[in-house]
């Protein structure tokens, strides 16, 4: 269990807080610990980031539901599925509008290192798809992929932007009926980076960047699902004299012809003959870890579900695994030889062949109910 402080405690709200109350609580803390009000204050910086992390989780209904169920374990070590690891650029790019006009419209911000600082330009994100099979999902996997991304050329040099003097923003003062209003916007010359190209490297674009192929290692945790996305920070396109964007990884889980996924549980359809159902025996089935043999009791009925505990898939960032549910289907032959027809004609009225369900033999609807309970 994570030792992190509870997100609700950080924002000072209850678990039943509405979306508006969550936003209001975060804004109050963000303004209180904002870097413009707390220069050279490491404690305020930590609380500012802590509040942003709490808001990032609780303001998202899906993430909030996971947090309410699993706590910090739902996100810790998830390689990008959580809300932690945010830097100042992430916070201001995602939540800057929440500050409103409290800090000059939220354009730039003073740093905790003291003095007025510019917001570093951030490169664009890249997106890729990574295909996994059920074994990858069960164990977790590290994938190495080749990514073409824009990078700063070593022979490109930059100088301070003369339009904004390196701040990355320009200030405009307007006279209104309410008085003088000051607004700050990104510098149109340097795009907010505070830097201009001094010498452009060979083979680079107008921003001094060149396309290069790089092998990126992606650690994917066990239990991921099809359609999930994870973030590899700093592996997107770089920005001129700024920070690199992120690599967004879309997870695609390939379908297995024999195993059907239902959350953490897996389902397997096992077809057996009349003889197998009557006499019993053993059958080989597939699991994510390989083939195993299971015992078939004599007299097994079609629709019987055998549960192999722990043979399903792990929960994302959890400690338990789901089950493998084996569905027994007694196969009825469509054609019979004369000898086989004579046998079943003789057996039609035999007491052993007349259906006689017991109370312990659950109906189809009871089995479905049990399966989803």
Within the chain, how many helices (H) and strands (E) appear?
9, 17
> Among residues of the chain, what percentage have pLDDT more than 70?
82
3-class DSSP string for 233-284? CCCCCCCCCCECCCEEEEEEECCCCCEEEECCEEEEEEEECHHHHHHCEEEE
Q: Where are the beta strands (DSSP E) in the chain?
A: 109-110, 116-117, 126-132, 141-152, 157-160, 169-176, 179-186, 195-199, 209-220, 229-232, 247-253, 259-262, 265-272, 281-287, 290-296, 305-308, 324-330
Mean pLDDT of all residues belonging to the chain: 82
Binding residues, by number, are 161, 164, 187, 190
Give ranges for CATH 1.10.287.110 in the chain.
1-117
Region 196-211: what's the mean pLDDT?
A: 86
**pLDDT the model gives residue 83:** 44
Give ranges for CATH 2.60.260.20 in the chain.
259-372
Region 21-27: what's the mean pLDDT?
A: 91
Give yes or no for a contact between 15 and 6, defined as CB atoms under 8 angstroms apart.
no
Burial zone of 277 (CB within 10 Å; 0-12 exposed, 13-18 middle, 19+ buried): buried
Cα dihedral angle (287, 293, 296, 301), rounded to 10 degrees? 20
State the architecture of 259-372 in CATH terms. Answer: Sandwich (2.60)
Residues 264-318: tens digit of each pLDDT: 999 999 999 999 999 999 999 999 999 999 999 999 999 999 999 999 999 887 7
Binding residues for Zn(2+), by number, are 161, 164, 187, 190
Residues 92-136: tens digit of each pLDDT: 555 555 554 444 444 344 444 444 444 567 889 999 999 999 999
**pLDDT the model gives residue 92:** 57
Residues 39-62: tens digit of each pLDDT: 778 888 889 889 988 998 998 888
Highest CATH level, class, for 1-117: mainly alpha
Burial zone of 315 (CB within 10 Å; 0-12 exposed, 13-18 middle, 19+ buried): middle
Flag whether the pTM goes above 0.95: no
pLDDT at 263 over 50: yes
The CB density around residue 371, as the number of other CB atoms within 10 Å, is 14
User: How far apart are the C-alpha atoms of 113 and 44, rounded to whole Å?
Assistant: 12
Give yes or no for a contact between 19 and 59, defined as CB atoms under 8 angstroms apart.
yes
Residue 72 has what DSSP assignment? G
What are the tokens at 117?
A: 């600082």
Higher model confidence: residue 367 or residue 193? 193
Name the pLDDT band for 35 (thresholds 50, 70, 90).
confident
**pLDDT the model gives residue 269:** 96
What are the tokens at 174?
A: 């307007």
């Amino acid at each position: 269990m994570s030792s992190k402080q509870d997100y609700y405690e950080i924002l000072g709200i209850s678990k039943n807080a509405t979306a508006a109350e969550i936003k209001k609580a975060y804004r109050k803390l963000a303004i209180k610990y904002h870097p413009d009000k707390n220069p050279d204050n490491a404690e305020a910086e930590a609380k500012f980031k802590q509040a942003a992390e709490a808001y990032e989780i609780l303001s998202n209904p899906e993430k909030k539901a996971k947090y309410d169920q699993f706590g910090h374990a739902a996100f810790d070590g998830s390689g990008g599925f959580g809300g932690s690891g945010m830097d100042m650029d992430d916070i201001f790019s995602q939540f800057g509008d929440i500050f409103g006009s409290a800090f000059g419209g939220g354009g730039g911000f003073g740093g905790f290192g003291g003095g007025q600082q510019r917001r570093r330009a951030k490169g664009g994100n890249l997106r890729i798809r990574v295909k996994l099979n059920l074994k990858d999902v069960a164990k977790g996997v590290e994938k190495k992929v080749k990514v073409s991304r824009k990078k700063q050329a070593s022979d490109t040099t930059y100088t301070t932007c003369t339009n904004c003097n390196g701040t990355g923003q320009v200030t405009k003062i307007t006279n209104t009926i309410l008085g003088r209003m000051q607004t700050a916007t990104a510098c149109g010359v340097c795009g907010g980076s505070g830097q201009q190209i001094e010498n452009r490297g060979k083979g680079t674009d107008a921003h001094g960047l060149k396309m290069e192929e790089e092998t990126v290692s992606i650690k994917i945790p066990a239990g991921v699902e099809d359609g999930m996305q994870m973030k590899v920070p700093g592996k997107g396109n770089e920005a001129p004299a700024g920070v690199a964007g992120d690599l967004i990884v879309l997870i695609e889980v390939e379908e297995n012809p024999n195993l059907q996924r239902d959350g953490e549980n897996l389902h397997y359809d096992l077809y057996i003959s009349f003889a197998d159902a009557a006499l019993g025996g053993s059958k080989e089935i597939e699991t994510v870890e390989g083939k195993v043999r299971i015992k078939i009791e004599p007299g097994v009925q079609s629709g019987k579900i055998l549960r192999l505990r722990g043979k399903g898939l792990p929960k994302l960032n959890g400690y338990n695994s789901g089950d493998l549910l084996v569905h027994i289907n007694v196969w009825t032959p469509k054609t019979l030889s004369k000898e086989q027809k004579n046998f079943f004609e003789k057996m039609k009225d035999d007491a052993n062949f007349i259906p006689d369900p017991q109370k312990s033999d659950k109906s189809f609807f009871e089995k479905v109910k049990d399966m989803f309970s």
